[in-house]
Chain A
Amino acid sequence: MALYSEKVMDHFRNPRNVGQIDDADGIGEVGNAKCGDIMRMYIKVDDASQTITDVKFNTFGCGSAIATSSMATEMILGKTVQEALSMSNRAVVEALDGLPPHKIHCSVLAEQAVRAAVKDYYDRKGIAYNPEDFPEVDEDELHDHCGL
């Protein structure tokens, strides 16, 4: 059996929405180079409808880090920012037909990158939000996997 599903390999080989948005409305970056993965997510939002009209990503990381980033961008494009916030890492894993157990943290990073981008959008626009929707990322838990 291959390490990754066909879907993961497809998103790794042909990642969707790679790049940057110069006039992004929100940018979220999560991860740590020391741990071997960083994701940066850019979103463009239509203020009236709160719809994500464009999304791009840059990722430093392994095959599944690139694939989960790519999948997450596909899942939130055209959705409202509220809908984007409800995307769980589990949903990303399922959409990719699964990930090996030690790669699940990549999907957690993808979820957090989306949240961080939305939070940045809210902050920039002065939109009030419930802080509970954006819990502080537990760095220890996130980096538990890399022994730092």
Chain B
Amino acid sequence: MFVYADNAATTSISKTALDAMLPYLTENYGNPSSLYAFGQKAAEALAEARQTIAACINAEPREITFTSGGSEADNQALLSAAKLGERKGKKHIISTAFEHHAVLHCLARLEKEGFSVTLLDPHEDGVIRLEDVEKALREDTCLVSIMFANNEIGTVQPIAEIGALCRSRGIPFHTDAVQAAGHMPIDVKAMQIDMLSLSGHKFHAPKGVGVLFARKGLLLTNLIEGGGQERGKRAGTENVAGIVAMAAALKESCANMEKDNARIIPMRDKLFTELSKIPHSKINGSLEHHVPGTVNMCFEGIEGESLLLMLDDRGICASSGSACTSGSLDPSHVLLSIGLPHEVAHGSLRLSIGEYNTMEEIDYIIETVPQVVSYLRSMSPVWDELEKGLRPHLI
């Protein structure tokens, strides 16, 4: 059996998205900047896509900037807010220790340029507390950037509360909503979000296309100079087909959200319930504040990469916060940020499911994971010591 359970990494393109984009790869290949009617057809498609996407998050079309994806949107959001802050002599940024690297590495760069950055630690449940944000605010804070939902452990942050706090202090608030868009309701007005990043391929659009929402009046800084596309804020001929597909995919995901989640959540919960029966396992991240599809667990005495390779051999695509899977050799910064010891964080597994998964596939995962965990434990000297009481169990 082949089971794709890594939807937080990327998703397949939906038929709706593919059908919507195909004409713009074939007959309607015009450049939206061209004057003639053939080019204007593409321009109209862009305008419609902008409107559709704006409607999905309750924004205005002119507040939508198309980018190459979530990372570009995050970079542009952070650098823009930093630039605006700098002009007013405000050079302090608040974010969290478990952001995506698109945010963390961008903040590291800003730090080198003289900004001071406060990274808040989530609590053990993987949720940032509003009071921690409030305590960290300073006179010179020019940006708060806190992700909507964490990509590894799936925990959802109190976005509306943080939005209200920032708005009341007049501080721009950015959220990386890459894991939430298309899977959870987003309302930038009600949640008082000033900037928001999303990425098409996380909700069944193609890779290489994303959005930066920036509230009216918030001046963006260009990352790419060139032509006047995107109101002069993002040069380069638009990825028309990708943008059209993204709009179609987001519209579909939002329209079907309730129905899809009613199927996904019971599958996710079955994974949690059944895989928790593995002795000395641990669920990472609060179940109360959780995206529908992501499951993250640790299994003591084993290492994540060997777990993934064995699951791959059995047809299951999954992911791990293990050091060894990433090329960097540290275990996941996310798992460390919620207080897991190194040796436990190495044994993590992330399964992320979507509306295309079936209960049969979930049952196959539930049958396979315990077998692989117990096989790897049987050859693990760490497990041997845990079992003999020579080493204390940490979970």
A residues near B, CB below 8 A? 9, 12-13, 15, 18-20, 29, 33-40, 57-63, 65-66, 102-103, 145-148
Contact = CB atoms under 8 A, between A and B. Distances in A.
Contacts of A62: 303-306, 322, 324-325
A15 B342 contact: no
A126 to B, nearest CB: 26
A13 B303 contact: no
Contacts of A37: 303
Interface in B50-78: none
A29 B303 contact: no
Contact of B323 (A18, A33, A146): A146
B329 A60 contact: no
Contact of B303 (A19, A61, A103, A147): A61
Interface in B22-71: none
Contacts of B322: 36, 62
B330 A146 contact: yes
B381 interface: yes
A34 B303 CA distance: 11
B360 interface: no
Interface residues of B, number: 27
Given A18-B379, A58-B381, A60-B383, A147 B306 contact: no
Nearest to B330: A147
B380 A58 contact: yes
B127 to A, nearest CB: 26
Nearest to B346: A36
23 contacts: A9-B309, A18-B379, A20-B384, A33-B342, A33-B343, A33-B346, A34-B341, A34-B343, A35-B329, A36-B324, A38-B381, A40-B384, A59-B381, A60-B301, A60-B380, A61-B306, A62-B304, A62-B306, A62-B325, A63-B306, A65-B303, A66-B306, A145-B329
A59 B379 contact: yes
Given A58-B379, A59-B379, A102-B327, A36 B384 contact: no
A34 B322 CA distance: 11
Contact of A36 (B303, B309, B313): B303
B366 interface: no
B104 interface: no
Interface in B260-314: 301-306, 309, 313
